[in-house]
Amino acid sequence: MPEATTIHVRFPDGREETFTTATLARDALDRFNPGAVGSVLAALWNGVPVDLAFRLPSDGSLAPITFEDRVGRDILQHSSAHLVAKGLVETIPDARPTHGPPTDDGFYYDFDVRPLVPADLDAVRAAMDRSVRAKDRFVRREITRAEAQALFSKNPHKLRYISDIPEGELVSVYDTGSFTDLCRGPHVPSTEWLQGVHILGFSAIAPEDPTAPALQRVRGVGFPTRAQLDQYLKMRAEAEARDHRVLGTKLELFTFVDEAPGFPIWLPNGMVVVHELERFVREHLEAAGYQEIRTPLLFAQSVYETSGHWEHYREDMFLSEVEGRTFGWKPMNCPGSMLIFRSRARSYRELPMRLAEFAPLHRFEASGTLHGLTRVREFVQDDAHIFVTEEQAEPEIRTLLDWIERAFSTFRLEWSCELSTRPAKFLGEKEVWDKAEATLERVLKASGVKYRVSPGEGGFYAPKIDIHIRDSLGRPWQTGTIQLDYQMPLRFGLAYQGPDGQLHTPVVVHRTILGTWERFFGVLLEHVAGRLPPWLAPLQVRVLPVTDRHSAAAHGLVEELKARRLRAEASSTEESLSKRVRNAEIERVPYVVVLGDKEVAEGSVALRVRGSKENRPLSRPEFIAYVHDRVTKREFDP
């Protein structure tokens, strides 16, 4: 054992403390923030995640990791996968675990085992409960390759992973009670952390080697407490009830067919919503000095070589051969806007030049990742490219933040920003990236909006501000993005004549705010559980005559509403009134009015606002003015 020497450890707040070598990360963190220790599940040592039982070897930096951190969430998911493997091996001793990574929404573990049946999972759950109650510790051991090969001699999958580890390197394994798994780690300290682990289901999956038998995948999700799990399961049930794919069919908004996977088919009701969204955005564009353009869906390969997409984005593009030349379906609108700017000589007097385009874009998404409207292969964005001088970039981005606030508050969506900086693969000079990143951060700081920084997550040509929204179930979604780009104007050779008579290169702000209509619409439908605000509802008013006697008056009212550009229809009287009221509720029609003897005689209506059981008497002019006001102001009603 080497003699303990003094080491210096730096904490996230900049404080430095001295310890002796081999101090546990847990003990050092306890001194950093004694109150927080119960919520710390692992540690970050010089930027690398390690167990709390890790022994500090030298000077370095140390930070706590909690479940709130992305990496902490992943560590807990992955530790949960170990717990499932432990339970499954105890249930079926000849099962061979393969691997069990965290995913975006939980974890899975794949097993080489006979086909599972539901009763197996009950036994696995019971075994997991026992382990949680026993508070089994995750204990790391480092062994030689030969020892590892002996330990996993009956599991060809683990032997294959071991053979991938460089010769001479030690192999780490983790013991959890009587169960041992090959793993790099880190993990939570013990199974006591895994009280909120839940198995969601299992399915057979094809192995990487097509001649091998199918593997059995067990999927699950983990939380540090039972209460957090219960909250999640409740929300999941609520999310299922308002799944936009189900609502889309029920409300006849959009559909999909097997012959065009990932390509949405918009039905007449859905197109009404899309047009209203476009109208909302276009009103802003006009007021803010944008001009609308339309550029081709297909460009020859050379255009993408210039833009950099050919090198960095080709795998995500659809390609077509036309008369022996390769064309790409545009995945983004940028190239067309660049060509328009370059189409003639430009002067500084034309800047900022704001070009908006609502063209269909195509991106190749693997079929396994497609999901309703939220992940599609064809979509339209509220996209624009703003050509500015370097000095104009900052004020221009500031005004964008104002529009973001107005846009999302219209939909009652909370929003925040994420600043994504230079990735490993990037175009251009490091110094230019630093300048662009600094500009974006200055705007964010000055505006006071909520934001966080994601190092290395920028696009290949520019740093960006990603816009995230939170829906009524508290789920986060990414919508729009603002990118400050110095590269593409250079690559396309763009120039404008400055006041000095010299040619200068403009800077481009790429920006989309709502993101894609498709995704935004899918999120919005779930956010409001299908109860679109009246201005977006495909049908705004349904007039219900009590009997045939009242039909003429009902049609008269519909005509008056239509004259005010409101979307209204009168129902027939074949079904009972109560049935028709119920149908309108199911179809989420915002305003339902009933016309009977009394109303026809008085020139009034009985208004039922969606979600309410009350009939409110209003004169016809009052009613029309009320609906017109709610719709034109884009107000919400229940």
User: Mask 90-119, x = binds Zn ion (CB under 5 A)?
Assistant: ------------------------------
Does 468 qualify as catalytic in the annotation?
Answer: no
| Closest to Zn ion by CB, 23 or 337 | 337
Does 275 qualify as catalytic in the annotation?
Answer: no
| Closest to Zn ion by CB, 512 or 571 | 512
| Closest to Zn ion by CB, 183 or 277 | 183
| Closest to Zn ion by CB, 411 or 486 | 486
CB distance 391 to 423 below 8 Å: no
Q: Which among 510, 527, 580, 620 is annotated as catalytic? A: 510
| Closest to Zn ion by CB, 224 or 480 | 480
CB of 367 to Zn ion, least distance (A): 26
CB of 334 to Zn ion, least distance (A): 3
- Cβ of 130: how many Cβ atoms within 10 Å? 15
Task: Please choose, from the candidates 479, 483, 424, the residue with its C-alpha nearest in 3D space to the C-alpha of residue 457.
Answer: 424
CB of 238 to Zn ion, least distance (A): 32
CB of 182 to Zn ion, least distance (A): 8
Identify the three-state secondary structure at position 159.
helix
CB of 174 to Zn ion, least distance (A): 6
Task: Give the range of 153-161, 181-189, 472-480, 577-585 binding Zn ion by CB under 5 A.
Answer: 181-189
Residues binding Zn ion: number (CB under 5 A):
4
CB distance 109 to 218 below 8 Å: yes
| Closest to Zn ion by CB, 7 or 84 | 84
For residues 400 and 394, give the distance between their C-alpha atoms in angstroms, rounded to a whole number: 10
- Per-residue tokens: 90: 């105890």
For 414, residues 6+ apart whose C-beta sits below 8 A from its C-beta are 408, 469, 470
Task: Give the range of 183-191, 490-498, 573-581, 629-637 binding Zn ion by CB under 5 A.
Answer: 183-191
Q: Which among 77, 216, 381, 540 is annotated as catalytic? A: 381
| Closest to Zn ion by CB, 407 or 488 | 488
For residues 385 and 187, give the distance between their C-alpha atoms in angstroms, rounded to a whole number: 45
Q: Which among 51, 334, 471, 519 is annotated as catalytic? A: 334
Binds Zn ion by CB under 5 A, chosen from 510, 527, 550, 610: 510
Cα–Cα separations (whole angstroms), residue 199 to 71, 77, 219, 255: 21, 11, 6, 32
**393 near Zn ion, judged by CB under 5 A:** no
Cα–Cα separations (whole angstroms), residue 342 to 199, 327, 389, 469, 508: 57, 21, 15, 35, 13
| Closest to Zn ion by CB, 407 or 509 | 509
For residues 333 and 384, give the distance between their C-alpha atoms in angstroms, rounded to a whole number: 8
**183 near Zn ion, judged by CB under 5 A:** yes
Does 385 qualify as catalytic in the annotation?
Answer: yes
Q: Which among 82, 198, 464, 527 is annotated as catalytic? A: 464
CB-neighbour burial class of residue 207 (10 A; exposed 0-12, middle 13-18, buried 19+): middle
- ∠ CA 269-270-275 to the nearest 5 degrees? 100
For 455, residues 6+ apart whose C-beta sits below 8 A from its C-beta are 421
For residues 481 and 309, give the distance between their C-alpha atoms in angstroms, rounded to a whole number: 18
* Residue whose structure tokens are 């944008």: 290
Does 464 qualify as catalytic in the annotation?
Answer: yes
Does 363 qualify as catalytic in the annotation?
Answer: yes
CB of 569 to Zn ion, least distance (A): 41
For residues 180 and 147, give the distance between their C-alpha atoms in angstroms, rounded to a whole number: 13
Does 230 qualify as catalytic in the annotation?
Answer: no
**384 near Zn ion, judged by CB under 5 A:** no
CB distance 212 to 204 below 8 Å: no
CB of 242 to Zn ion, least distance (A): 32
Does 183 qualify as catalytic in the annotation?
Answer: no
User: Mask 327-356, x = binds Zn ion (CB under 5 A)?
Assistant: -----x-x----------------------
Residues with a catalytic annotation lie at 334, 363, 381, 383, 385, 464, 510
**Which positions lie near Zn ion, rule CB under 5 A?**
183, 332, 334, 510
